Structure 1
């Protein structure tokens, strides 16, 4: 009833929709209808055209005996009726007729502004709403008689590949059981800090300011997992893949060996390349393909690079719950802005989604800037309460012995004291006992 038939056919053919199985019945206004001798008002149009419209439509349906009938757009039917009651009666009669012949009826509606289609939604069994913004397209289901459906907004797109829909991630209601050993970093002292490593199916946030070694520490876990035969994937939001490779080569991390093994892959997520829905689809595919370890680098790039992201925290929480339920060991790189000053575990207030928080921090000692690493929480196991010095050298990551003399880092003004009064490890072991 709206666009010219030739235009609709060209559009369908452009997406390879095989229009040879589609019968077109064009009842849109023709040039002759708009000629001066045939012109009439909207009211007169309703009186003149409605009988021919209904009769012609039913005759065509009886002739073809279709499985599906699409009226596009049904809102044009309003101009062929004399009042709202007649409009509703006509739609209801059409839907009843389609049910009688066991055909699926589909109606498109151009609603917006002062024009609504609430009355049509009341009559039909299913309502699927489409919305478009400058950044993305969204689809939602608000009604589906006789069946449940996934609520909320979901991303979709229309491209050269056709119509693609990416339902929002929904975690399983029950976490998959696992008796796997904790994920080791391959650095003994770092594993000691974590009392053996990271438990499978947990989310670990590596938090700290820029340049402190968060990504490098995460890579250490990821590479070790791949070399142990665990399928792993790095979703890189912050840097290009070649910079990751160069960094790994510079400090002796066997990244290339992990990539060559086929157990590790790097997915570079460029700005505005994906919507949130597309990224969630990549995660879902990775889990389906057997991935055991995922690293997201990092939370700030996640917020800036993905399109259609209205709630950063909500999206990360949804992704985290999905990965946790699938027993995927997850590393999330989180950057805090303050290099010195008051301690912050998370810039984006997403620390609640993490099972484990490992923080890295710059400290000053005798005129030198050093790095320290510590654990703030681990939900599923005990951990060492002391801080250790972290060094990134040409031979890889080096983690030192506990530093009981380093005090006050959580206050934002750390200092070194030679009067230890016992080690923090002794205190931790006493607490555990």
Structure 2
């Protein structure tokens, strides 16, 4: 079977991402089922399938039992498409005699005549056009005319055998309005593509598809997010990190702050992931920006995906702290993108990150924050799996990844909305603590897989000149609990003054 599969000709659907999911496209000369409730994008995919064939020189035929030709052409025009001579549209209408009350008879059921007449009209249209690609829209009409499962199955088999003898690749559309539980065509079709639409409690609708069957052909399993926009359907194949690996020299990336690099044991290894964890306001974004700024200064490219903050305010605030992100962006070395979790599916987000790493060759990627990313996920388990695959992919491409997570609470025992500490190679922990009548900030490294690091806790401040990290706080205990106890002979605390307390 494997040898036969390799030599079977494949026809592309032309839908971005779908051919990747289908391992190249649809095997030529077979019948495929495209099913989904109304509004999931069946007609759009079918039209793109025919237009792709027209561009390759194949004649196409769209047989419609539910929409008018004008509706189809208007729908194509809404995506900027024109159905030329190589895409014929045949609109099946009931015979005039069946619409005339004077010609109604009672010896035979009208459905017997209508089903046979409809099938004959379909075959006649094929004989006239002689297409290589056929779309039949939709099976719900044929199911209603058949009135029984046996007659429906026989009719679908007749259609399959007829088109198979002609060598045409056929796409059957089913809107599931007649009987969503009827799986008759599933056993007959060579492959089945199922489209789904999800309606979250808040935000835009989410669409996904799954290949539930494909005879003799490997395909990418599971659910794949997709969108419908002007220009057609775009599918975002589920990311499988194991399929992507790039050779690169693993070097150490520094932050430009000597004390922070010392805390990290010299820096962070290229191709690793770093999680910056802490309560709101401790400065998680600033730590990430310190590494981004250092990467841009080295002449590398970086990408920052911001879920939580409006970019205008973010640029103004970080500029006051010594990070001119707009200037970095103008040089072409920094890509900054604001992500709306309510409008973007996780699959589409992963594809955006992947495109920028692949095409722009970004070596530093920051996601700020996972709290916002979680809002785009229906389940926490799915979030962990998405993050795992994304981090593994970025690591294998040699990209250094930074993630931020805001913990609940300010001092004492705090919890994160989702635990991804075991996924990250390095974990930087930020904390508030009280000392000498003021609230201060401390940083420590609680995990680093790629080498040794300091086990100390250092105080840090954020002011007009960015990040300033102090000496180890070796004269205190209980800093991570929020209320330290002085146990030394001298206080290594950083002096307060004009440095400012601005943080992010």
TM-score w.r.t. the length of structure 1 is: 0.89
CA distance 1:272–1:115, shift in 2 (3 Å): closer
* 8 Å contact kept, 2:305–2:336: yes
Cα distance in 2, alignment partners of residues 322 and 76 from structure 1: 45
Please point out which of 69, 89, 96 is paired with 1:5.
69
CA distance 1:199–1:415, shift in 2 (3 Å): same
* 8 Å contact kept, 1:136–1:307: no
| Partner residue, 1:44 | 109
Cα drift, residue 385 of structure 1: 0.4
Note the alpha carbon deviations across 1:33-66, whole angstroms, 9 max, x for none: 445445689x812322233223222222122110
TM-score w.r.t. the length of structure 2 is: 0.77
| Partner residue, 1:395 | 465
Listed as ranges, the matches of 1:20-419 within 5 Å are: 20=84, 21-29=86-94, 33-37=98-102, 44-81=109-146, 83-111=148-176, 115-134=180-199, 135-173=205-243, 175-289=245-359, 290-304=361-375, 306=376, 311-344=382-415, 346-411=416-481, 413-418=483-488
Cα distance in 2, alignment partners of residues 170 and 87 from structure 1: 39
Cα drift, residue 221 of structure 1: 0.5
Q: Secondary structure at the match of 2:242?
A: coil
Note the alpha carbon deviations across 1:379-421, whole angstroms, 9 max, x for none: 111111001111112222111111112323455653332169x
The gaps in structure 2 that reach 5 residues or longer are 1-64, 200-204, 491-504
Compare 403-412 and 368-377 and name the one that shifted more.
403-412
CA distance 1:186–1:36, shift in 2 (3 Å): same
Compare 409-418 and 291-300 and name the one that shifted more.
409-418
Cα drift, residue 247 of structure 1: 2.3
Cα distance in 2, alignment partners of residues 341 and 49 from structure 1: 75
Please point out which of 1, 8, 14 is paired with 2:78.
14
CA distance 1:347–1:404, shift in 2 (3 Å): farther
Figure out how many residues of one structure are paired with residues of the other and give that number.
Answer: 417
Cα distance in 2, alignment partners of residues 328 and 66 from structure 1: 48
* 8 Å contact kept, 1:136–1:308: no
Note the alpha carbon deviations across 1:5-46, whole angstroms, 9 max, x for none: 3222221232233322222222244787445445689x8123
Q: Secondary structure at the match of 1:384?
A: coil
| Partner residue, 1:425 | none
The gaps in structure 1 that reach 5 residues or longer are 421-433
Compare 93-102 and 123-132 and name the one that shifted more.
93-102
